[in-house]
Amino acid sequence: MVRKKNTANFEQSLTQLQALVEQLEQGDLSLEQALAHFEQGVTLTRECQQALSQAEQKVTQLLERNEQLVEQPFSAEQSE
């Protein structure tokens, strides 16, 4: 259940962030509204980055060694 909640929070934050960006891009907001939207966007961006970081830490890869599967933390350098 925790995964669904985190995923839902990430998806919801991302959707809100996209809506804020669209509103800012339209240019119809007052300066105060634009600043409030920008601040909210920064907060949502941090929340999304934190959720992605937590997900990345949970990702593991399976490697075959001596005919056995061994779990190892995923490293971006290894995939390149």
Give the model confidence (pLDDT) of 5-37 as tens digits.
666 789 999 999 999 999 999 999 999 999 999
d(CA 15, CA 33): 19
CATH of domain 2-79: 1.10.287
Cα–Cα distance list, 55 to 2, 28, 49, 50 (Å): 12, 36, 10, 9
Instruction: Give 34's Cβ-side CA count (13 Å radius).
Output: 8
Structure tokens at 42: 């920064």
Give the model confidence (pLDDT) of 33-78 as tens digits.
999 999 999 999 999 999 888 887 777 666 666 777 777 776 656 5
Residue reference for tokens 């991302």: 14
Q: What pTM did the predictor assign? A: 0.65
Each domain of the chain, given as residue ranges in start order, spans: 2-79
